């Protein structure tokens, strides 16, 4: 780096006015990741055993492997080869000694390729440095190779010198091999080595430039003197150059020195600049033409300073970039980074954020280039630190101060006094107090120590201690930047630093702002109002106003101030500040909105994205908005793929959303299977194991979690449940392990897993004892079975999954509402281009159709959303039905146990029905509700009912139509102002809109009826099609008749049933079923005249030509079943008497009596006796 002229005329250097800036870490891919990835590729190419990636990477992340490679120590490398052979890197990992040596070679190659040149310079071992050079530097002479590690400007000049001064090759070789180049230069200046010979004047001046590059100004001045004595040219230039290296106490002293060199354009230009005439200085400098590269470099630096002094910072930046790109001169770029930092620190527009980003970029570029030749890169690092902090990236700033593995600073940078002091202040802002205390013990600068202690006191909210420390720090502050920084902190304690007034002449606005803040905080009348007014114009004052309210715990007002300022200045930092203030005021909704604004506003270099994503995850999860939380978690994980917090956050969100396969892939394939760090993560890990790792060889994963959290009862409970579901066909050794764990776990969980003694001689007695404790729900069950209450209520009553009960339903589905049918059809038509909420009852109904037909019905609606709770409920249903259980135990009305059994085929079908619903849900958007519940009755209960969540979601604003196949829920929806429709109405809507043909629509309606869907309008063609599907047996069509609408004329259903009886007369079961269904319907519509309806119906039946003595018992059984259930008298006697009377009038008594005796001959004795009595009394 050519020497810079620091005369302080470029621009006002005001540091950031904001105080604490806590920010997200600067991310980069770790070296272990690169080495593991590259080494595996090389090993595979050599046809050697390939290590499993994640365990290989974890091994390389340890303290020894990469350190051994870095050391170049043959013994350590040999130990590394031996250690590799012992590692468990997968089943195929088995190495010979020769193979392990080849793997180490691959590791060394991958390691050197993974290092940047900057990192290569930090490697102190000569053996490793040689390896790095061979990997990074193309083959050339030793001299050319050595020059790669010199500053480019000095390297070019060295090659020119080699012709007249061959010793330069030895000089360069020794210089780049030295442990510390600056120390080597200092030693050689004091004790010149013999191999240097007698350098000529140009060599001495070259060494002077080299010394100045490393800040060795005294040595550089001495070398220039020696060069001038030997006749160095141009002498005038080197005399000016020498004076610039001498420290001048004041600008006036520097001007006086330059006056002695007047006549040279460089000196004349500096004099003009010191006379506040930068434009004239530029004009003078343009007259200086020089072919020498070092002189051109100094000229460029001066031009940058003069441009900045006249306010043309953009021109200075352009010039500096050209010098950096074309000639690799870093000095002007460093100046440009400083100028942009100073201009961008105010952050009063988005352009200032761009200034800070470019400043950071330039500073890091300068740092990296200087590192290549192991020069003093600390100044560039200091600029980068300040830019990162101003961008809100304190964690990146912290990493810039720390050496590996915690940061990216070199040892030289981290040990620099300025960097150490900055590290201490940053630590006080973002690191734990114990780390700050450790740094304080090693820091000798009293001002930095006081600032750090003051910040720690601020964090503890110890205002008194903080104020005392700030006052002490103010007494020690010397530079304007220090005085302004500390003065602002004092102002927010209501105190004005005594030193500020002296700075007012050159920084009037800043001093005025700080005084206003102090007076407002101290309660001076009218100053708070003034602060609020001026806060609308100046960002620092807006931040101070925010702090004013925050310090008084008026968090809502603080948040509003920050949000208003964030919107005015498009400031992500202020949006995030507002989000945190809203959280403190317990307004999560506003906090989430501000956090989202922060992400939308943020620049690429802003460092708090991770913190914002964490805020969103935490607060969206707290209110059950899992889809949005998952999105934030995915963003966090993509930003930092191997951050365990990000992995666990995304996994939990995906599991909460029912995305179980995705959760496992996130955890196992992308997240590297992080170990749980707390009880909550342990429970999630156990659930992942239960669903994905039940095989015997994975048992150790579960046991590790259990052992790590054995003190947690909840973890023990979840682990026990997981082990209870282990497969039966495990190896005996694994089964024995499980039995051993049960023996350890169950005694401590007897309140959860209650032990029961079973009477093997009378197991039913034990079941009677158990079910006696179950409440009697028979009345509620009856009301649900008869459609008086929503079917989903049974899920709440019996603590079962809603989807499970739908999948297991074998009775009637009360899905239709004939009275509202046309309105529901209209709703379905209008909902075509809307967002519609679907209930799982409708999805269960779609399972009756072919997949393509179901898709067609779903596709009719533009956008369908389902409640997230029902998605999760479907998972519970699959878990419950996965075992294909064929037996269950219920409770009779007498309180005794009743065993129910189903065929294995039915168990399979139930699981398939639940699987269909779950698959449908997976194919659509599932959404959580905006509030706990919108339904008044549910609010009173204070519970979430899964079967009501679709209606609840439909009530979220904006309100949406509901597609549900439970008529009771749709009636409730109507009472709450929600439009709804069922699948039957949707089919009719599609028919009317010509989305379905008439025949297909009729077939679909018939399929619903065939599956016992009842309550819809009476359409003869639907019934006939359904009856055909049933083979005219009394199946779903009979159920439809039993629950036919009340408003239709009785003759239509009766006529249809009589036809059905004619077609199924030879099936006694169907005869009884049709008759019972019709009788039940006639009782429903008849009310007080129900008995008369049954008499009339039985009369019609007795008149049927298909009725014989064989069918009559089943006809009577059907009528009587309905009558008995409704507590209605037996209509047989009256109906038969009427029938007999008609026969007598038509055929005469003898034939009539003969006919009826024959008709009743297979009925019960009492029926025959009644028949005889009718005949005798009639005659």
The model's pLDDT over 76-117, given as tens digits with 9 standing for 90+, comes to: 777 888 888 888 887 678 888 777 777 887 787 677 655 544
Q: Residue 53 corresponds to which tokens in the numbers above? A: 């990636």
Confidence of residue 53 (pLDDT cuts 50, 70, 90): low
pLDDT tens, position by position, 608-659: 888 899 899 989 888 778 888 888 888 888 887 778 888 888 998 888 888 8
Domain ranges of the chain: 1-135, 141-233, 785-887+902-1007, 1018-1178
Q: What is the pLDDT of residues 264-299, one digit of tens each?
A: 999 999 999 999 999 999 999 999 998 888 899 999
Q: Which residues of 938-962 are buried (b: 16+ CB within 10 A; e: fewer)?
A: beeeeeebbbbbbbbbbbbeeebbb
Give the ranges where 750-898 is alpha helix by DSSP (H). Answer: 763-771, 778-785, 793-798, 802-808, 821-830, 840-846, 851-859, 868-881
Report the phi/psi class of residue 884: left, alpha or beta, with left for phi > 0 and alpha for psi in -120 to 50.
left
In sequence order, the β-bridge partners of residue 1085 are none
If phi > 0 it is left, if psi is from -120 to 50 it is alpha, else beta; for residue 895 that is left
Pick from 958, 991, 802, 987: which is nearest to 865 by CA?
958
Asked if pLDDT for residue 8 goes beyond 60, the answer is: no
**Tens digit of each residue's pLDDT (9 = 90 or more) over 576-608:** 999 999 999 999 999 999 999 999 988 777 878
**How far is residue 655's CA from residue 872's CA, in Å, rounded to a whole number?**
9
Give me the sign of the Cα torsion angle 907, 910, 912, 918.
Answer: negative
Averaged pLDDT for residues 1110-1118: 95
Task: Give the pLDDT confidence score for residue 127 in this predicted structure.
Answer: 42
Tell me if 2 sits within 8 A of 299, measured CB to CB: no
pLDDT at 277: 93
DSSP code, position 666: I
Cα distances from 787 to residues 784, 817, 1084, 1146, in angstroms, run: 5, 11, 13, 45
Q: What DSSP string runs through 491-525? A: HTTT---TTGGGGTTT-HHHHHHHHHHHHHHHT-T
| Tens digit of each residue's pLDDT (9 = 90 or more) over 843-894 | 999 999 999 999 999 999 999 999 989 999 999 999 889 888 888 887 777 7
pLDDT score of 940: 57
- Residue 18's pLDDT band (cuts 50, 70, 90): very low
pLDDT tens for each residue of 739-797:
888 888 888 887 877 777 777 777 777 777 777 777 888 888 889 999 999 999 999 99
Q: Which two tokens stand for residue 258?
A: 């330059």
Q: Which one, of 792, 815, 814, 806, lies nearest residue 983 by Cα? A: 815
Residue 218 has which token pair?
């005294």
CA 81, distance to chain mean position in Å, is 40
Q: Which two tokens mark 108?
A: 């060394």
Q: 227, 204 in Cβ contact below 8 A? A: yes
CB-facing half-sphere around the CA of 501: CA atoms within 13 A? 2
In eight-state DSSP terms, residue 1 is -
**SS3 letters for 71-85?**
HCCHHHHHHHHHHHH
pLDDT at 728 over 80: no
pLDDT of residue 999: 95
At 128-177, the pLDDT tens digits run 444 433 433 333 468 888 898 899 999 999 999 998 899 999 999 999 88
Per-residue DSSP letter, 3: P
- Supply the pLDDT for residue 338: 94
Is the pLDDT assigned to residue 1001 strictly greater than 90? yes
Place of tokens 């967002």: 835
Question: In percent, how much of the chain has pLDDT > 70?
Answer: 92
Q: Indicate the average pLDDT of the chain.
A: 86
Q: Could you say which of 3.40.50.1010, 3.40.630.30, 3.40.50.10800, 3.40.950.10 is the CATH number of the domain covering 785-887+902-1007? A: 3.40.50.1010
Residue 118 confidence (pLDDT) above 60:
no
pLDDT at 436: 87
Extract the tokens encoding 388. 């990162």
Q: What pLDDT is recorded for position 144? A: 87
Q: How many CB atoms lie within 10 A of CB 625?
A: 21
User: For residue 941, what pLDDT is reported?
Assistant: 63
């Amino acid at each position: 780096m050519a020497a810079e002229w620091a005369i302080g005329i470029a621009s006002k250097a005001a540091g950031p006015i904001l105080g604490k800036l806590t920010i997200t870490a600067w991310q980069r891919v770790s070296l272990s990741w690169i080495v593991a990835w590259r080494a595996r590729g090389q090993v595979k190419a050599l046809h050697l055993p390939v290590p499993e990636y994640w365990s290989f990477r974890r091994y390389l992340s340890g303290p020894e492997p990469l350190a051994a490679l870095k050391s170049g120590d043959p013994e350590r490398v040999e130990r590394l080869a031996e250690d590799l052979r012992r590692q468990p890197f997968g089943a195929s990992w088995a190495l010979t000694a020769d193979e392990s040596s080849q793997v180490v070679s691959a590791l060394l190659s991958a390691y050197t390729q993974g290092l940047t040149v900057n990192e290569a310079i930090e490697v102190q071992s000569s053996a490793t440095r040689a390896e790095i050079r061979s990997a990074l530097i193309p083959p050339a002479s030793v001299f050319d190779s050595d020059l790669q590690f010199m500053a480019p400007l000095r390297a070019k000049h060295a090659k020119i010198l080699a012709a007249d001064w061959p010793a330069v090759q030895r000089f360069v070789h020794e210089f780049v091999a030295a442990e510390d180049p600056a120390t080597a230069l200092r030693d050689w200046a004091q004790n010149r080595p013999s191999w240097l010979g007698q350098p000529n004047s140009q060599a001495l001046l070259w060494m002077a430039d080299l010394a100045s590059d490393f800040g060795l100004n005294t040595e550089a001045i001495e070398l220039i003197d020696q060069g001038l004595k030997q006749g160095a040219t141009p002498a005038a230039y080197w005399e000016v150059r020498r004076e610039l290296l001498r420290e001048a106490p004041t600008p006036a002293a520097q001007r006086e020195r330059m006056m002695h060199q007047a006549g040279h354009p460089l000196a004349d230009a500096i004099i003009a600049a010191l006379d506040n005439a930068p434009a004239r200085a530029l004009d003078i400098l343009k007259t200086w033409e020089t072919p020498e590269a070092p002189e051109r470099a100094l000229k460029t630096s001066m031009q940058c300073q003069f441009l900045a002094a006249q306010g043309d910072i953009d021109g200075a930046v352009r010039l500096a970039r050209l010098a950096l790109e074309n000639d690799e001169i870093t000095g002007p770029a460093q100046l440009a980074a400083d100028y942009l930092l100073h201009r961008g620190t105010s952050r009063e527009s988005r352009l200032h954020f761009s200034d800070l980003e470019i400043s950071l970029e330039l500073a890091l570029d300068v740092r990296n280039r200087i590192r290549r030749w192991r020069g003093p890169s600390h100044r560039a690092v200091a600029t980068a630190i300040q830019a990162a902090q101003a961008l809100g990236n304190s964690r990146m700033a912290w990493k810039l101060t720390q050496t590996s593995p915690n940061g990216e600073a070199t040892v030289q940078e981290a040990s620099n006094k300025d960097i150490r002091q900055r590290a201490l202040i940053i630590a006080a802002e973002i690191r734990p107090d114990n780390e700050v205390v450790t740094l304080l013990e090693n820091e000798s600068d009293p001002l930095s120590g006081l600032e750090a202690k003051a910040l720690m006191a601020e964090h503890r909210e110890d205002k008194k201690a903080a104020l005392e420390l700030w006052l002490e720090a103010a007494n020690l502050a010397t530079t304007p930047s220090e005085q302004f920084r500390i003065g602002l902190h004092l102002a927010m304690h209501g105190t004005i630093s005594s030193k500020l007034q002296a700075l007012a002449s050159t920084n009037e606005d800043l001093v005025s702002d700080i005084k206003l803040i102090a007076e407002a905080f101290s309660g001076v009348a009218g100053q708070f109002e003034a602060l609020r007014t001026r806060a609308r114009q100046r960002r620092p004052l807006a931040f101070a106003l925010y702090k004013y309210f925050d310090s008084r715990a008026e968090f809502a007002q603080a948040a509003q101030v920050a949000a208003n300022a964030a919107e005015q200045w498009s400031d992500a930092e202020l949006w995030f500040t507002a989000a945190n203030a809203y959280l403190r005021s317990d307004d999560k909704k506003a906090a989430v909105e501000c956090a989202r604004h922060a992400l939308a506003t943020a620049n690429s270099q802003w460092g708090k994205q991770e913190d914002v994503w964490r805020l969103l995850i935490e607060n969206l999860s707290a209110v059950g908005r899992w889809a949005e939380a998952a999105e934030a978690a995915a963003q966090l994980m993509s930003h930092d793929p191997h951050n365990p917090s990000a992995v666990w956050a995304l996994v939990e969100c995906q599991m909460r959303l029912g995305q179980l396969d995705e959760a496992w892939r996130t955890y196992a394939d992308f997240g590297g299977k992080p170990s749980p760090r707390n009880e909550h993560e342990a429970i999630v890990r156990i659930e992942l194991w239960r669903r994905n790792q039940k095989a015997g060889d994975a048992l150790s994963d579960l046991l590790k979690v259990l052992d790590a959290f054995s003190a947690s009862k909840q973890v023990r409970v979840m682990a026990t449940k997981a082990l209870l579901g282990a497969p039966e066909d495990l190896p005996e050794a694994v089964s024995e392990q499980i039995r051993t764990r049960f023996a350890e776990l169950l005694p401590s969980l007897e309140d959860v897993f209650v032990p029961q003694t079973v009477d093997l001689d009378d197991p039913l007695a034990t079941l009677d004892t158990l079910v006696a404790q179950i409440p009697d729900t028979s009345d509620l069950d009856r009301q649900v079975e008869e459609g008086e209450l929503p079917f989903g209520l049974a899920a709440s009553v019996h603590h079962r999954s809603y989807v499970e009960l739908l999948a297991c339903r074998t009775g009637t589905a009360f899905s239709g509402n004939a009275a509202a049918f046309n309105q529901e059809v209209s709703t379905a038509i209008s909902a075509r281009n809307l967002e519609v909420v679907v209930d799982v009852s409708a999805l269960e109904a779609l399972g009756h159709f072919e997949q393509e037909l179901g898709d067609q019905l779903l596709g009719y609606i533009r956008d369908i959303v389902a409640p997230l709770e029902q998605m999760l409920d479907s998972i519970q249903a699959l878990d419950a039905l996965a075992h294909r259980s064929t037996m269950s135990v219920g409770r009779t009305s007498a309180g005794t146990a009743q065993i129910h059994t189903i065929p294995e085929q039915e168990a399979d079908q139930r699981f398939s029905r639940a699987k269909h619903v779950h698959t449908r849900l997976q194919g659509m958007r599932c959404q959580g509700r905006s509030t706990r519940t919108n339904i008044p009755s549910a609010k009173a209960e204070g519970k979430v009912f899964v079967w009501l969540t679709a209606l609840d979601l439909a009530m979220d604003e904006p309100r949406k139509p509901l597609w549900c196949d439970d008529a009771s829920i749709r009636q409730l929806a109507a009472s709450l102002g929600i439009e709804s429709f069922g699948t039957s109405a949707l089919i009719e809507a599609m028919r009317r809109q010509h989305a379905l043909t008439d025949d297909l629509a009729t077939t679909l309606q018939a399929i619903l009826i065939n599956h016992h869907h009842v309550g819809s309008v009476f359409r003869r063609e639907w019934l006939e099609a359904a009856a055909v599907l049933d083979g005219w047996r009394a199946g779903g069509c009979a159920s439809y008749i039993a629950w036919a609408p009340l408003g239709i004329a009785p003759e239509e259903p009766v006529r249809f049933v009589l036809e059905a009886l004619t077609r199924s007369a030879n099936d006694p079961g169907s005869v009884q079923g049709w008759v019972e269904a019709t009788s039940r319907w006639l009782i429903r519509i008849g009310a007080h005249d129900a008995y008369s309806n049954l008499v009339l119906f039985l009369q019609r039946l007795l008149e049927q030509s298909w009725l014989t003595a064989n069918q009559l018992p089943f006809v009577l059984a059907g009528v009587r079943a309905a009558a008995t259930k409704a507590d209605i008298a037996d209509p047989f006697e009256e109906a038969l008497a009427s029938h007999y009377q008609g026969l007598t009038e038509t055929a005469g008594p003898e034939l009539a009596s003969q006919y009826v005796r024959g008709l009743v001959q297979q009925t019960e004795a009492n029926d025959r006796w009644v028949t005889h009595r009718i005949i005798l009394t009639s005659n």
